[in-house]
């Protein structure tokens, strides 16, 4: 009986260690995947802002915004605002249509807008609730647009928080042991 208990204890200890190792590995995988995903989307928004800044808004803004949104389908919405925070352009089209309803859509009170304006650096928001184009729980990536060194507005993309829940199913190996 003693030998059997020792064997059972060792086997249980080994299984516990295997599970701890698997959870650590999966945690690292999730961190890597989420960081790469978020960085890719921050880069897309930053690239859009840079393109708009460098062109002095001479290119068709709505076309550039639509193209960025189409190339990054996890963005549920994208927008471009002016320095006072008013949203002038939005994607996809269902949100662009909302801008023609006469209601003023503004970002002036959003912390990510204020911080982008102050620092002239790309921003990743904390989890927030959408207010202008729905009330989904979202994470936003924004980047300042500047003309001749002066803040002129932001480009911003929003991703539903629920998007991150599917990462485990799609990218994490559950068959590790």
Q: Does residue 167 surpass a pLDDT of 50?
A: yes
CA angle in degrees (0–180, nearest 5) for 119-78-161: 90
What digits encode the pLDDT tens for the residues 8-28? Answer: 877 788 888 888 888 888 778
Higher pLDDT pick, 46 / 175 = 46
What percent of the chain has a predicted confidence (pLDDT) above 70?
Answer: 94
The answer, yes or no, to whether residue 3 has pLDDT greater than 90, is no
Report whether 88 contacts 82 (CB < 8 A). yes
Calpha distance 158→140 (Å, rounded): 4
- Region 113-135: mean pLDDT is 90
Evaluate if pTM is beyond 0.75. Answer: yes
Torsion 118-121-124-129 (CA) sign? positive
């Amino acid at each position: 009986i003693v030998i059997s208990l020792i064997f059972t204890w060792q086997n249980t200890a080994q299984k516990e260690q295997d599970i701890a190792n698997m959870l650590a590995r999966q945690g690292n995988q999730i961190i890597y995947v989420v960081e790469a995903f978020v960085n890719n989307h921050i880069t897309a928004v930053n690239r859009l802002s840079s393109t708009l800044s460098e062109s002095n808004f001479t290119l068709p803004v709505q076309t550039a915004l639509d193209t960025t949104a189409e190339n990054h389908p996890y963005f549920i919405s994208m927008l471009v605002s002016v320095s006072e925070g008013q949203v002038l352009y939005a994607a996809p089209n269902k949100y662009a249509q909302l801008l023609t309803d006469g209601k003023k859509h503004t970002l002036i009170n959003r912390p990510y807008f204020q911080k982008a304006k102050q620092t002239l650096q790309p921003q990743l928001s904390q989890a927030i609730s959408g207010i202008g184009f729905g009330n989904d729980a979202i994470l936003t990536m924004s980047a300042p647009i500047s003309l001749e060194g002066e803040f002129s507005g932001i480009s911003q993309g929003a991703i539903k928080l629920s998007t991150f829940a599917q990462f485990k199913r799609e990218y994490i190996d559950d068959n590790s042991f």
